[in-house]
Amino acid sequence: MKIMSKTMLVLMLVMVVNALSYGMIIPLLYPYASRFGIDAGSLGLLLASYSFFQLAATPIIGRLSDKYGRKPLLLLCLFGTSLSLALFAGAQNIWMLFISRALDGITGGNNSVAQAMVADTVEPKNRPKAFGLLGAAFGFGFLVGPAVGGLLSSVNLTFPFWFASGLALVGTVLGLLFLPETNHLIVKKTTKNAKDLPMNLIDWRLLINVLRLPTVGLLIIVALLFSIGQNMFIIGIQLVTVDVLHLSTLAIGSIYAANGLMNILSQTIGIKFLLRYVTSSEIVSFGLLFSVVFQLLLGVFILPVWFLVILFSYTFVPPLFPILSSLISTKTKPADQGLILGVSQSYISLGNIIGPIVAGYIGSYYKPLMFFTAGAVFLFARAIYSRTQNN
């Protein structure tokens, strides 16, 4: 399949929907949830509930997509996102907030299913660019999400959530009409190969067993560590910009928007340019080392001017998640693409839980230590990644 095809366009729309719904929530979640008695401490639990349920559900969704097809699982996940946002907007108590975030996490496997669809249809040599396009679509949604959320909140505080819910529903309909099935085992009706795939939805040993796979297991560990470090960095930025630099919400939103813009450029033009001169493996090695240096500089220079200059420089870090996903995909058998990419996404979700909790605890005592710890995590990831070069 060509990189830019009808399937790819629909998948990019899915990524935009995901990022829009997530980006719109960021500036509005705390003011909205505080109506129901959510304080700073319980806000962390509310955020972690999504990642916790996504961690548990994504491998199951990935395996189901291997057995029953990518399209139905992707549409189910999109509809779940729409329903969860509607529940969040119409919440009457704190428990409805948690239920809606849990539902969004349970049906939050659309990223891994979309990646599996790319793996089904794009040649291995073109997958880094294809995964980069998915990442760029997510970056675009994350770029405009906070701005759209802030604008729509002028109507009322719940309207942005209703809007995001409707957008996810539109994405579901478009996927139903225009997205083909890409799982070749399902398309060919070879039930001997497809429906007889081993299926154990409650086998949590899978998360450990996958780590034992040659190369793939190490790459998934690298993705986990990178997720932890990235989330520590994100929480660190929030704490420093508010508590130390005392920036306005408009300024903080502008930082997110600038970062989203640079992500779009790096995951489209950037990946294409870099792959002309270096390999995917070299990009990951450089990106992890650059992240180490960057975090150390942030920890040393928590001052308004220097901090923002160093923060902007981080936008030049190569986009590692799509490249890691591509490397994992090329090392995985076709019949297991959904499963392995789903497990990989689950470990990334685990990082989404660990990173904020650790960073929040450390930041309450000494904020520079958040960045020093993140740098140590990236350094450990680089050491693990170097082992994959010997396999």
All domains in the chain, ordered by first residue? 6-388 (1.20.1250.20)
Q: For residue range 156-204, what is the model confidence (pLDDT) as tens digits?
A: 878 888 988 888 888 888 888 888 777 766 555 544 444 444 444 445 6
The amino acid sitting at 37 is: G
The amino acid sitting at 337 is: Q
Specify whether the CB–CB gap between 286 and 321 falls below 8 A: no
Q: What is the pLDDT of residue 59?
A: 74
Q: What is the pLDDT of residue 314?
A: 63
Number of other CB atoms surrounding residue 269 within 10 Å: 12
Specify whether the CB–CB gap between 141 and 18 falls below 8 A: yes
Q: What is the pLDDT of residue 228?
A: 92
Q: What is the pLDDT of residue 376?
A: 95
Q: What is the pLDDT of residue 286?
A: 81
Nearest to 51 by CA among 379, 355, 382: 355
Distance between CA atoms of residues 281 and 123, nearest Å: 18
Q: What is the pLDDT of residue 87?
A: 93
Plot region of 199 (φ>0 → left; ψ -120 to 50 → alpha; else → beta): beta
Handedness of CA 146, 148, 150, 153 (dihedral sign): negative
Q: What is the pLDDT of residue 196?
A: 46
What residue ranges of the chain have pLDDT lower than 70? 1-5, 26-27, 30-31, 39-44, 109, 128, 139, 142-143, 150, 184-204, 242, 247-272, 274-275, 302-319, 335, 337-338, 390-391
How far, rounded to the nearest angstrom, does the alpha carbon of residue 280 sit from its chain's CA centroid?
A: 19
Q: What is the pLDDT of residue 345?
A: 76
Q: What is the pLDDT of residue 225?
A: 93
Distance between CA atoms of residues 138 and 100, nearest Å: 22
Q: For residue range 129-160, what is the model confidence (pLDDT) as tens digits?
A: 777 777 777 767 766 777 777 677 777 878 88
User: Is the model's pTM score more than 0.85?
Assistant: no
Q: What is the pLDDT of residue 192?
A: 44
Distance between CA atoms of residues 343 and 221, nearest Å: 11
